[in-house]
Chains A and B, each alone.
Chain A
Amino acid sequence: MESNLVEMHHIEKKFPGVTALRDVNFTLRPGEVHVLLGENGAGKSTLMKILSGAYEPTAGEIVVNGERFERLSPKLSQQLGISIIYQELSVVNELSVQENIFLGRLLTVRKLGVTVVDKVRMNRETERLLGEIGLHCGPQTQVDALRISEKQMVEIAKAVAFNSNVIIMDEPTSSLTEEEIEQLFTIIRKLKAAGKGIIYISHKLKEIKEIGDRVTVLKDGEYVGTHNVSDVTIDHLITMMVGRELQNKYQSATREHGGQTEVVLEVRNLTRRDGYVRDISFRLHRGEILGFSGLVASGRTETMEAIYGAVPVSHGEVLLNGRKLRIRNTYDALNSGIALVTENRRETGFFHNFNIRRNLAIARQLKDSKQGGLYGLVSPRQEKAISAEQVRAMQIKCASLEQSITELSGGNQQKVILGKWLAAGSQVIIFDEPTKGIDVGTKSEIYKLMRRLCEQGVGVILVSSEMPELLSVCDRILVYFEGRINGEYAIEDATEEKLVYSATVAKEDAQATA
């Protein structure tokens, strides 16, 4: 029998007020991809942080390469050949790609008897790594200038560069494009062939069948079971992690549009000053969910930022219920009834120094204020009411409202961000990749919620890179290509093929060949 790379026995982890893990077992063999599955807050990241040495377990033991440990430290874990890609991006924006990759372990060379940093070798190594993961940027590019998916790829390059035996990947694909995911899978297969062990966490269930060998399911901090991926169906896994059968994961509630002509939001010739998007025009009708498809960097997020007043606009207008809006900044947009749920949770989504209550209430407080938020007093009672309601509605798993948001699991942080915007009571809500990092059960809850909002007359826009999501939730889909709208489909005649086609071939070219 082959020996295990890692064994974790009877692991328990208690945080003040919460038991995150209870008697969990886990093993990793060489050359396998072991998927860790569970709902938001099930304890996946916590278990992995114990293995990476970031957390100490309250009980249990860890065996690495046959050696027993009560606990690990980040340094020890690294020495034992374990590296981790954390769920939250941990790249340093102010440094270059190369500096990030070699952060804390610069390559050195002895020159004239003095040890100095070996810039040449690091540069070469970085270029090789970047080529391997398919990231098209120079080693000296500042990470600040990269998009979120590219930052994630840098993070992956960093973990691979360690040449470790065990690589933990905590939701590496939540913000990657299809293409990048393929690149990642190629790398994973290579690592596997080299006999390394990979622990893989994801809420995208179809990836399990594609890349996984074994799967371990956690539920509410408890070990449910381990199976060979080939022996189980996705539905079976869902039942294991949710604890009940989930009906039609992707089927949205009844659609009853058609004949609806009332326009909630109209955008005319919107052009950003930096030119990322030009001449965008579209209409959002009452009672419909409008989807935005396209490749990453095709201009969808950039358009939404412009509508929301987050970036300067050179011309174009935004009309809400037929009234022209004057939006000079984000406050104007919020105040006139537009909300934007941003895609980058860590950087633009929440306040690490606020507890759950304050995070949930801030948008509503601002909306009710005057002068860009300068006037007015906070009402503790309103704050409590708002946040308690959202915790219930979004099923946020937390010990209390006063808990710091940093103590929540990644998916639950995402729910707080959604809750914050729902509490603001806006007339138009733009969701930019809202279900990133959210488990299957909650995902379908969020789709239902969007439909409900829509029925209440709120205009809903959904920007998503997941086509099944768009196809099941939206009533109409616009497809972006290179900073403009390149296709429009009513849901009845939208298919994945058509969306991909419009996302990759310019309208004019398509007509020319037809």
Chain B
Amino acid sequence: MSDKNTLPGEKLKPKKTFSDYWSKYSTVLIMALMIVVFGILQPQAFMTGKNLIKIIEQSSITILLACGEFFAILLAGIDLSVGSTMALSGVVSSRLLGLGWNTWAAMLVGIIGVGMLLGAINGGLINLTNLHPFIITLGTQSIFRGLTVILADSRPVQATGFAQVFGGKLFGAIPIPILVALLVASLLTFFTLKSKAGRNLYAIGGSKQAAWFAGINVKRHTMLAFMISGVCASLAGMVNIARLASAEPAAGTGYETFAIASAIIGGTSFFGGIGMIPKVVLGGLIIGIINNGINMVGLSSYYQQICMGALIILAVTLDRFFGASSKKR
């Protein structure tokens, strides 16, 4: 029975096809293309170190949201409530700050008490009702937004204290939001690649049924995924109020689109089970580059929307033909 093909230890180097390269490097490729295009259009302003750092800083909120969104999409679901979660946690923290709380304590409550809790509510409802996450988070998106507006009394809430925490720069050059996004992305990369829970999430994304029969507690992991999404969104909320020195009740409206777009441009499969955090970060950066570059070129922000929309469709179409999911029969 055994023949030359069966030796498992032997490293057989299969010939790489275009499809293999594409599924590996598509995101980097798109990003390089963007940089080249804007670099040619605006050589002086775009390609400066200062501008590049600015792009990353502007992208940090999108990246944080996208890192959380990634987990919802990994389970073949979606989280539409990240924008609202971001706003609600921001308003709660600012209110607490207004009540004279310590900055760190207020932030901690915003992240753990609000972000994680809202994520748990999403996860809990999904587990309880067995409805698609799209439905549940469409509902909670609206509920969380409503709560935000009530709590903020329809007005921006002052939050100057946070600017001190997030406003600074490391070594006088690297803005703190970048560090936060980088840290979160690194932690989550480690989590997805090295932890058993991370592996299980991929398994559930591949086949919920098979995961259940393999002994994975699907409900607990679903809960976990949405809690991570909630925490990431509330971190984005903290970065946002620090940047603006106030919590806007309408903050983050429509940001779920950015988050979903980043995850998808970053090669996360909508069918679940396929994707990587580092690529999602690149996806977030690509969106940042588009926004920044189009601004630089002097076009109105409506072109950003057109560009981003086209890119989503392009990325998914190309993935359909060449990506990892094209191989699955």
Q: Which residues on A are within 8 Å of B, measured CB to CB?
A: 15-18, 39, 54, 88, 220, 242, 308, 310, 329-331, 333-335, 340, 342, 347-354, 358, 362-363, 365-367, 369, 371-378, 387-388, 391-392, 395-401, 403-404, 406-407, 420, 441-442
Most buried by A among B9, B216, B221, B328: B216
Q: Are B200 and A373 in contact (CB under 8 A)?
A: yes
Q: Are B273 and A351 in contact (CB under 8 A)?
A: yes
How many chain B residues touch A (Cβ–Cβ < 8 Å)?
45
Q: Are A391 and B220 in contact (CB under 8 A)?
A: no
Q: Are B213 and A373 in contact (CB under 8 A)?
A: no
Name the contact of A366 in the complex, choosing from B6, B196, B324 (C-beta under 8 A): B196
Q: Are B5 and A397 in contact (CB under 8 A)?
A: yes
Most buried by B among A242, A351, A369: A351
For the complex, is B197 an interface residue (Cβ under 8 Å from A)? yes
CB-defined contacts of A365 to chain B, threshold 8 Å: 196, 199
Q: How far does the alpha carbon of A347 sit from the alpha carbon of B206 in the complex, in Å?
A: 10
**What is the CB-to-nearest-CB distance from A217 to chain B, in angstroms, rounded to a whole number?**
16
Q: Are B209 and A369 in contact (CB under 8 A)?
A: no
| Smallest Cβ-Cβ distance to B194: which chain A residue | A377
What are 18 A-to-B residue pairs whose CB atoms are below 8 Å? A15-B14, A331-B217, A333-B215, A342-B213, A348-B210, A350-B207, A352-B206, A353-B324, A365-B199, A372-B216, A374-B224, A375-B197, A376-B195, A377-B194, A378-B194, A378-B195, A396-B6, A397-B5
**Contacts A362-B203, A400-B11 hold; do A351 and B210 have CB atoms under 8 A apart?**
yes
Most buried by A among B1, B200, B202: B1
Interface residues of B in 265-279 (CB under 8 A from A): 272-274
Q: Are A372 and B217 in contact (CB under 8 A)?
A: yes
**What is the CB-to-nearest-CB distance from A80 to chain B, in angstroms, rounded to a whole number?**
22
Name the contact of B207 in the complex, choosing from A333, A352, A404 (C-beta under 8 A): A352
Q: Are B220 and A375 in contact (CB under 8 A)?
A: no
Q: Are A374 and B197 in contact (CB under 8 A)?
A: yes
Most buried by B among A335, A342, A349, A399: A399
For the complex, is B327 an interface residue (Cβ under 8 Å from A)? yes
| Smallest Cβ-Cβ distance to A16: which chain B residue | B14
| Smallest Cβ-Cβ distance to A349: which chain B residue | B210
Q: How far does the alpha carbon of A381 sit from the alpha carbon of B11 in the complex, in Å?
A: 16
Q: Are A347 and B210 in contact (CB under 8 A)?
A: yes
**Contacts A352-B207, A374-B220 hold; do A399 and B273 have CB atoms under 8 A apart?**
no
Q: How far does the alpha carbon of A353 sit from the alpha carbon of B209 in the complex, in Å?
A: 14
Q: How far does the alpha carbon of A391 sit from the alpha carbon of B7 in the complex, in Å?
A: 9
Most buried by B among A88, A347, A387: A347
Q: Are B327 and A373 in contact (CB under 8 A)?
A: no
CB-defined contacts of B101 to chain A, threshold 8 Å: none
CB-defined contacts of A54 to chain B, threshold 8 Å: 329
Q: How far does the alpha carbon of A220 sit from the alpha carbon of B5 in the complex, in Å?
A: 10
For the complex, is B10 an interface residue (Cβ under 8 Å from A)? yes
For the complex, is B17 an interface residue (Cβ under 8 Å from A)? yes
For the complex, is B8 an interface residue (Cβ under 8 Å from A)? yes
CB-defined contacts of A353 to chain B, threshold 8 Å: 202, 205-206, 272-274, 324, 328
Q: Are A220 and B274 in contact (CB under 8 A)?
A: no
Q: Are A354 and B196 in contact (CB under 8 A)?
A: no
Q: Are A17 and B196 in contact (CB under 8 A)?
A: no
Q: Are B213 and A310 in contact (CB under 8 A)?
A: yes
Q: How far does the alpha carbon of A442 sit from the alpha carbon of B216 in the complex, in Å?
A: 29
Q: How far does the alpha carbon of A352 sit from the alpha carbon of B205 in the complex, in Å?
A: 10
Interface residues of B in 184-237 (CB under 8 A from A): 194-197, 199-200, 202-203, 205-207, 209-217, 220-221, 224
CB-defined contacts of B213 to chain A, threshold 8 Å: 308, 310, 330, 340, 342, 348-349
Q: Are A366 and B214 in contact (CB under 8 A)?
A: yes
CB-defined contacts of B209 to chain A, threshold 8 Å: 347-348
